[in-house]
């Protein structure tokens, strides 16, 4: 079976040696030395000012909203993973969707401006599949209306924009380090900000608001990352360049072989792909469903990221229709991409898709993965 992604696992002995050290110290969580080491290394690796490791990417978003004191309506994108919207609702905020640009799949700044009301306090864009948003245009809209900007940068690990980390834009950026992400800590995430005071506030929030022995300074929650997760992060970070190189190879082969079959996301001119995902766009949903079915018959499991468009969520009170997001969501498929996907396996995927396009669907069924 070929899944859409496989979590990268380091050498078992290397991870075990970290675990053995954790046992010796008997310090399992609460700002342990592995967590501190990972925070330092990630801060440097990404080129950011403040990075706070947390338990997962969803909590990273919730902490960002809380730390900035957001209220009322938040303008966000319907073309994302469920968490971008669910975290807003969970924090008592009202998501208001602006439509995406049908080529970049990111929020269209002109559509953001059109959704602003007197109740709007912030914009939560997503760098979808790691593709940087129109960050300058978004900041301009935010400045004109005194809105905060929180980037859900869950896909944008190692994404550079005009020569620096895209995480440096906006008031806060958040990362997810879930096992399926480009860089992972099994479960985990981070909050990134240039504002030192905001960073100090978030450090309080992640540990129940406790600032010292017998001192509870503010409301807080538990969003701490453990030493076992930090150990995984240290192992994966050692290999991140290799991981990206291997993913790049897979990605370029998809682009070379499939240009006539599908279309691709339009990437920012000021940035390079980080190869976190391999999304391809079909001409129609019908064509996508056919391709998905044939891939499944050949034991290949792509995923419909992101489908459904979040403006169709039934738990939301306000009903909105974002035309471009619904259209893209209906036609997009993420193909398998991970470091251990070998050439033979990728050729099967490519042959199935090319065969479908040429109408040789019977022949395709003879390809086999195992
Ligand atoms: C993965 C993801 C999240 C949530 O991160 P978790 O670590 O799984 O909580 C949020 N937003 C986007 C866009 C994601 O892809």
Residue 366 in this model has a pLDDT that exceeds 60: no
Instruction: Please state, in angstroms and rounded to a whole number, the distance separating the CA atoms of residues 239 and 10.
Output: 8
d(CA 358, CA 119): 52
pLDDT (tens digit, 9 = 90+) per residue, 271-308?
Answer: 999 999 999 999 999 999 999 999 999 999 999 999 99
Domain 2-238 architecture: 3-Layer(aba) Sandwich (3.40)
Cα(190) to centroid of ligand 1, in Å? 11
Distance 269 CA to ligand 1 centre (A): 25
Distance from Cα 88 to the centre of ligand 1, integer Å? 13
pLDDT recorded at residue 135: 98
Q: What is the pLDDT of residue 116?
A: 98
Mutate to test the pocket of ligand 1, among 59, 84, 184 (most ligand atoms within 8 A of CB): 84
The residue contributing the CA closest to ligand 1 atom 2 is 154
The Å distance, Cα 167 to ligand 1 centre, comes to 15
Q: Tokens 């999304």 label which residue?
A: 279
Report the separation in Å between the CA atom of 82 and the middle of ligand 1, taken as the mean of its atom positions: 8
For residue 84 and ligand 1, the question of a CB distance below 6 A is answered with yes
Q: 298 in ligand 1 pocket by Cβ < 6 Å? A: no
CB 136 within 8 A of CB 268: no
- What is residue 318's predicted lDDT score, i.e. its pLDDT? 84
187 CA: nearest ligand 1 atom = 7
Q: What CATH number does the domain located at 240-369 have?
A: 3.90.1150.10
Q: Are 132 and 271 in contact (CB under 8 A)?
A: yes
State how far the Cα of 148 lies from the Cα of 125, in Å rounded to an integer. 11
pLDDT at 355: 85
Residue 331 Cα to ligand 1 midpoint, Å, equals 22
Q: Which phi and psi (to 5°) does residue 207 adopt?
A: -125, 50
* Mean pLDDT, range 118-135, rounded to an integer: 98
Atom of ligand 1 nearest to the CA of 87: 10
The predicted pLDDT at position 315 comes to: 96
Nearest to 107 by CA among 147, 52, 67: 147
Which of 126, 172, 176 to mutate to test ligand 1, by most ligand atoms within 8 A of the CB atom? 176
Residue 94 parent element (H or E): strand 94-97
Q: What is the mean pLDDT of residues 318-343?
A: 96
Element containing residue 297 per DSSP (H, E): helix 285-297
Nearest to 232 by CA among 6, 16, 4, 5: 16
Residues contacting 113, CB < 8 A, separation 6+: 141, 144
- CA of residue 355 relative to chain centroid, distance: 32
Closest by Cα among 273, 281, 268 to 328: 281
SS3 234: helix
Q: Is the pLDDT of residue 27 over 80?
A: yes
Per residue in 179-210, pLDDT (tens digit) is: 999 999 999 999 999 999 999 999 999 999 99
Q: Is residue 333 over pLDDT 80?
A: yes
The H-assigned helical ranges of the chain are 12-25, 33-46, 57-67, 82-90, 109-115, 135-145, 196-205, 227-238, 240-258, 285-297, 323-331, 343-357, 361-364
Tokens at 163, concatenated: 């020569």
Q: Is the pLDDT of residue 370 over 50?
A: no
pTM of the shown model: 0.95
pLDDT digits (tens, 9 = 90+) for 33-58: 999 999 999 999 999 999 999 999 99
- d(Cα 96, Cα 205) in Å, to the nearest integer? 26
Distance in angstroms (rounded) separating the CA atoms of residues 52 and 43: 9
Say yes or no to pLDDT of 362 above 60.
no
- What integer pLDDT is reported at residue 357 of this predicted model? 67
The pLDDT assigned to 364 comes to: 43
Domain boundaries along the sequence of the chain: 2-238, 240-369
């Amino acid at each position: 079976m070929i899944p859409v992604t496989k979590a990268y696992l380091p050498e078992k002995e290397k991870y075990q040696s970290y675990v053995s050290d954790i046992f010796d110290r008997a310090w399992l969580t609460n700002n342990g030395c592995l967590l501190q080491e990972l925070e330092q290394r990630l801060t440097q690796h990404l080129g950011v000012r403040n990075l706070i490791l947390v338990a997962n990417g969803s909590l990273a978003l919730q902490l960002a909203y809380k730390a900035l004191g957001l209220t009322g309506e938040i303008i966000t994108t319907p073309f994302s993973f469920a968490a971008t919207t669910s975290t807003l609702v969970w924090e008592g905020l009202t998501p208001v969707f602006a439509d995406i640009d049908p080529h970049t799949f990111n929020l269209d700044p002109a559509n953001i401006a059109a959704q602003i009301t007197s109740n709007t306090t912030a914009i939560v864009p997503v760098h979808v599949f790691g593709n940087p948003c129109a960050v300058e245009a978004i900041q301009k809209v935010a400045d004109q209306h005194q809105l905060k900007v929180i980037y859900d940068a869950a896909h944008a690990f190692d994404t550079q924009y005009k020569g620096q980390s895209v995480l440096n834009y906006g008031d806060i950026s958040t990362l997810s380090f879930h096992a399926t992400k480009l860089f992972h800590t099994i479960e985990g995430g981070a909050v990134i900000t240039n504002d030192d005071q905001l960073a100090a506030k978030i450090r309080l929030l992640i540990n129940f608001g406790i600032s010292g022995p017998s001192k509870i300074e503010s409301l807080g929650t538990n969003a701490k990352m453990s030493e076992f997760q930090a150990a995984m992060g240290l192992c994966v970070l050692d290999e991140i360049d290799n991981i990206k190189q291997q993913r790049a190879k897979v990605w370029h082969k998809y682009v070379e072989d499939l240009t006539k079959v599908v279309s691709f996301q339009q990437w920012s001119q000021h940035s390079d792909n980080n190869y976190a995902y391999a999304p391809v766009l079909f001409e129609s949903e019908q064509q996508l469903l056919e391709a998905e079915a044939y891939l499944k018959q050949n034991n290949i499991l792509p995923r419909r990221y992101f489908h459904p468009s979040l403006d169709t969520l039934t738990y939301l009170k306000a009903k909105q229709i974002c035309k471009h997001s619904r259209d893209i969501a209906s036609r997009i498929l993420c193909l398998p991409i991970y470091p251990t996907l070998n050439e033979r396996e990728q050729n099967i995927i490519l042959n199935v898709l090319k065969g479908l396009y040429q109408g040789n669907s019977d022949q395709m069924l003879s390809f086999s993965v195992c």
